[in-house]
Chain A
């Protein structure tokens, strides 16, 4: 069963986005925790569960952070799977809340970005990448994703103009979201197409920018959220599958294909009922793959789908179809704050569903889909997860 009952997501926090920082990951995670406590006006002692995700904690682990932050928890998770960290933390926390193992769980992703720190992350990412990928030129995920993107373009006829649809609409959304690191800059089609080449079809504006920052939210029962008079979003259904389709020679789909029909069936909604979609957008082709695998269009129809779909949060674009997508600008425009990037779509969704988004608020929004993808251990992203959230009762 992938459905959930009475699980509330509360107090979405995005904190401290910056290109580089001399601070530690604990600073960003702890600052998110502080903001969670302040905005929800609860006592720190009421938080009895903690899930953290970070690539840059160094020698520390989740339990060290519990001591740093003076917490006392009966439920503790450390989930380091990059782009699906937020959804995995949410699924585990939700079951713990349902079972009564904990009362209020803080789910936080945060990472710092030291000078030249990305090189260290890339060089140490996994044993497969140390032996099988890092020596082959790029020293980061660009090579793997340019192979995946080139293969997709050849097989399904996608063009750079198709990927531009995703990047340009996301930048428009970021222009209305103050935290986005690139939100102050508009992006035009000419600038997108004329950008510096990075790896094959992948050019500068197709790549996320590693940065520092933190994201987080609280998970509790809907009764508790109502008692505390906190606006909340509700988790309806969620699932995950990792290392799916592992015999595919080049990745052009991931685990969503195996469970998305089930998610729609159990939630009673279809893709046409989703009022927003937050995908994991480390590269625009990966967002296109999620649109296909999540049932918004069939495999290979992603290019046509983005051409006929306006993905701006306010529907101000010219395309006839409307699907607000990555309404805060996604990682492509906000920056990729390590594991926090796996929480970005979730926190943005909770903001939207509790009318806290501010200048990028979608009007009359009741439900939406969040998906996660990640962990290029060798030549493809291994993880997939998706969740449908809805507006909580007021």
Chain B
């Protein structure tokens, strides 16, 4: 099955009438799946070019700067600066629709000190643009690694801290349809 076919199938399964239990988007490219796997054991892992040191995100096969085929996942500094934040009130994805029916969903873009700009869920809605933040990864209810930004004071090097912060966002729980269709 090609990626596009897989996605069409998942979109069909995303139909609210068919889905009592909605999960965050699972589809990733093969490189995105590598990203998920590389992020399981550490707070944050990014593809880094062994030739020029460029930190590449989103993941690609070749380095976006020197085009060398030498990207390897390496544990990366979690520090960064929140560039912009927003509260989402609308989504095309059923899991987020159900979350947003309770409260708007905060997300933002972060410039990591290591280089790249990443989009991330926000663990803390009081974070303001310009503020120092930390970005860590955690698996969501679809078993994919997603990035989450939190206050710079959080000890995200500890797994239990990352887990607690992620659970508080609701990303690790399935969104269950409450009643009827």
A: residues with CB less than 8 A from B are: 116, 118-120, 122-124, 127-128, 130-140, 142-144, 146-148, 150-151, 154, 196-202, 249-250, 378-379
Given known A-B contacts A135-B24, A147-B86, A154 and B129 have beta carbons under 8 A apart: yes
Q: Is the interface of B mostly helix, strand, loop or mixed?
A: mixed
**Does chain A have a CB within 8 A of B62?**
no
- Measured CB to CB, the closest approach of chain A to B67, in angstroms, equals 15
Number of contact residues on B: which range applies? 35 or more
What A residues does B119 contact at CB under 8 A? 132-133, 136, 143-144, 379
Residue in A132, A143, A201 whose beta carbon sits within 8 Å of that of B58 in the complex: A132
Q: Which of B14-63 contact A (CB under 8 A)?
A: 14-15, 24-25, 27-29, 31-32, 35, 57-59
Cα A200 to Cα B83 with chains together (Å):
14
Would you call B86 and A249 a contact (CB within 8 A)? no
**Does chain A have a CB within 8 A of B136?**
no
- For the A-B complex, the count of residue pairs with Cβ-Cβ distances under 8 Å equals 131
Cα A358 to Cα B11 with chains together (Å):
43
Would you call A200 and B87 a contact (CB within 8 A)? yes
Cα A125 to Cα B131 with chains together (Å):
31
Given known A-B contacts A139-B93, A379-B119, A200 and B86 have beta carbons under 8 A apart: yes
Cα A124 to Cα B6 with chains together (Å):
10
Residue in B31, B85, B107, B120 whose beta carbon sits within 8 Å of that of A127 in the complex: B31
Given known A-B contacts A136-B120, A137-B96, A379-B109, A131 and B59 have beta carbons under 8 A apart: yes
Would you call B90 and A119 a contact (CB within 8 A)? no
Cα A124 to Cα B3 with chains together (Å):
9
Cα A160 to Cα B31 with chains together (Å):
39
Residue in A124, A132, A147, A201 whose beta carbon sits within 8 Å of that of B4 in the complex: A124
- Measured CB to CB, the closest approach of chain A to B93, in angstroms, equals 5
What A residues does B91 contact at CB under 8 A? 137-139
Would you call B88 and A199 a contact (CB within 8 A)? yes
27 residue pairs of the A-B complex, CB under 8 angstroms, read: A116-B11, A116-B15, A118-B92, A120-B7, A123-B25, A127-B29, A130-B7, A132-B58, A132-B119, A134-B25, A134-B93, A135-B140, A137-B93, A138-B90, A138-B107, A139-B92, A142-B88, A146-B88, A150-B84, A150-B129, A151-B84, A154-B84, A197-B89, A197-B104, A199-B87, A202-B86, A379-B119
